[in-house]
Amino acid sequence: MKAPDKRQYHSETRSEAAERTRARILDAGKFLFSRKGIDATTIAQIAKRAGVSEPTVYAVVKSKAGLLHTLMHDAIFGPRFKDAHQKLEGLGDPVQRIAMSAHVARAIYEGESAELSLLMKSSAFSPELRKTNQSFEALRREMQRERIDALFAAKRARKGLTKEAAATLLWMLTSREVYHKLVHESGWSPDAFQAWLEQTLLEALTDEPASDRDA
């Protein structure tokens, strides 16, 4: 019988400990950011709440900006997004991929709302939050580019629409602002939002006839 590999055991133990430390730091940051605001929270306060040293916080997340970026990334691209994106990747029809963008948008903002709603409210005017939001908006637009390219390559884009205009419309219609105005401010259900957005994206971007969608 082969003896256990002690090096592998110790490596796995260190990895698990590092993951627990990371989780404590993220939880501490989210708690403090949500209650004190991003700008008023210090690395020292995060370290104290997480039960680690300040150098450990810096080693794991680099800075408050790094911590905020990690929190937003984990919330936005969590299980809801992964499930929606997997379904998107399984589609070959470029028109269906445009429609599936509604599901992806819903997944992103449901995940964000569930994980970071208090943080977003308490730090609504934070320059750091604005900067981080801008970086994620640029990433979101870049991730959508392939869907627009595929739509135009298949000659399924709405007549008269340029590729750049289509990319802008997809990015704008799937934005956080649209989701919040309809779901949080107007009381729409996430299902209603997704259905409306899917229909709107098809009408705005594709040559899909309304009769085909309603059949």
Question: CATH no. for residue 35?
Answer: 1.10.10.60
Please tell me the predicted confidence (pLDDT) of residue 215. 43
Query: Residues of the chain with pLDDT > 90: what percent?
Result: 82
Residues 93 and 162 in one domain: yes
Residue 16 in any domain: the answer is yes
Q: What pLDDT, in 10s, does the model give residues 137-163?
A: 999 999 999 999 999 999 999 999 999
Residues 135 and 184 in one domain: yes
Residues 91 and 56 in one domain: no
Residues 36 and 82 in one domain: no
Q: CA-to-CA distance for 86 and 167, rounded, in angstroms?
A: 21
Q: CA-to-CA distance for 49 and 213, rounded, in angstroms?
A: 53
Answer whether residue 213 shows pLDDT above 90: no
Name the band, by pLDDT with cuts 50, 70 and 90, for residue 16: confident
Q: What pLDDT, in 10s, does the model give residues 96-106?
A: 999 999 999 99
User: Which CATH number covers residue 84?
Assistant: 1.10.357.10
Q: CA-to-CA distance for 17 and 23, rounded, in angstroms?
A: 10
Residue 111 in any domain: the answer is yes
H helices of 37-189, in order, are 43-50, 54-61, 64-76, 79-89, 94-122, 127-153, 163-173, 176-179
- The boundaries of the domain holding residue 91 are 73-208
Q: CA-to-CA distance for 150 and 167, rounded, in angstroms?
A: 12
Lowest mean pLDDT among 10-14, 55-59, 99-103, 135-139: 10-14
Residues 152 and 77 in one domain: yes
Residue 39 in any domain: the answer is yes
| Higher pLDDT pick, 9 / 86 | 86
- Mean pLDDT (whole number) for 168-188: 96
Average pLDDT of the chain, as a whole number: 91
b or e along 57-72 (b: 16 or more beta carbons within 10 Å of the residue's beta carbon)? beebbeebeebbbbbb
Residues 102 and 203 in one domain: yes
The two tokens of residue 179 are 């989701």
Asked if 143 contacts 97 with a C-beta cutoff of 8 angstroms, the reply is: no
Q: CA-to-CA distance for 194 and 101, rounded, in angstroms?
A: 9
Please tell me the predicted confidence (pLDDT) of residue 12. 63
